[in-house]
Chains A and B, each alone.
Chain A
Amino acid sequence: EVQFVESGGGVVRPGDSLRLSCAGTELSVNLFWMMWVRQSPTKGLEWVASSNPAGVEEYGESVRGRFIVSRDFGGESLSLQMNDVRDDDTAVYFCARQVYRRSYPRHSYLDVWGTGTSVTVS
């Protein structure tokens, strides 16, 4: 059974950059439609970004223009480059697998979640 492991979280200052990674333990993330979701006490669960196996990206409104999701096809990982971070980016960041179905026009539900990595902006 595939599992995902996130890394790269930490404490950063406002305006800094941080790069998160997500790797699969049994299968490469590059096989799947993937999503970054974050969770904070103030905002709850929030969609951050999505990426499909072809590398097509979509972003939530609060991070668009600052965050970049990408796939490292050589290293077989999914990354989230966080630029110009703000206090309200403080959260636990999860990578999760979307279940792809042609009937779902844009987004899907998430059947496998990583354990999360914590980002604190202070």
Chain B
Amino acid sequence: EIVLTQSPGTLSLSPGERATLTCRASQSLTNDYLAWYQQKSGQPPRLLIYDASARAAAIPDRFTGSGSGTEFTLTISRLEPEDLAVYFCQLYGGSLTFGGGTKVEIK
């Protein structure tokens, strides 16, 4: 079973700063079947990125997904106050698992 480990656990940044979130897989992914979700307090997860780098519909271009193999990154280029949330990665394809999440705090 592939395990996804997200880091850091919490990221505290100011508006306008760049946020870099990492999702590491315990085994190399043969296909880049990795998604990123944003979950705000009291809401369900919202799809941001699929296939590692494809932006979902209506997602602002400040959200960028990248990576392959065992290391994947979600970058928020210019943080806005509304980006306060927990971000999860998800492996899909032959197996399915979620990472533990990274909490993004806005200073």
Q: Which residues of B contact A102 (CB under 8 A)?
A: none
Residues of A within 8 A of B (CB): 44-47, 94, 96, 99, 104-111, 113-116
**Which 3 A-B residue pairings sit nearest by Cβ, starting from the closest?**
A113-B44, A45-B98, A109-B35
Q: By the criterion of a CB under 8 Å from any partner CB, how many residues of chain B are at the interface?
A: 22
| A107 & B93 in contact (Cβ 8 Å cutoff) | yes
A44 to B46 Cα, complex, angstroms: 15
Given A113-B44, A113-B45, are A99 and B93 also a contact pair (CB < 8 Å)?
A: no
Min CB gap A64→B, angstroms = 14
Chief secondary structure at chain B's binding surface: loop
On whether A47 and B47 interact (CB within 8 A), knowing A104-B33, A104-B92, A107-B92, the answer reads: no
By the criterion CB–CB under 8 Å, are A110 and B47 in contact? yes
Query: With A44-B100, A44-B101, A45-B88 given, is the CB distance from A107 to B95 under 8 Å?
Result: yes
Min CB distance B31 to A, Å, is 8
Q: Is B50 an interface residue (CB 8 A)?
A: yes
- Chain A residues within an 8 Å CB radius of B44: 94, 96, 113-116
Contact of B94 with A106 in the complex, beta carbons under 8 Å: yes
Q: CB-nearest residue of chain B relative to A61?
A: B1
B46, B56, B92, B99, most chain A CB atoms within 10 A: B92
Within 8 Å by CB of B92, from A109, A114, A116, lies A109
Bound together, the chains give a CA A105 to CA B43 distance in angstroms of 29
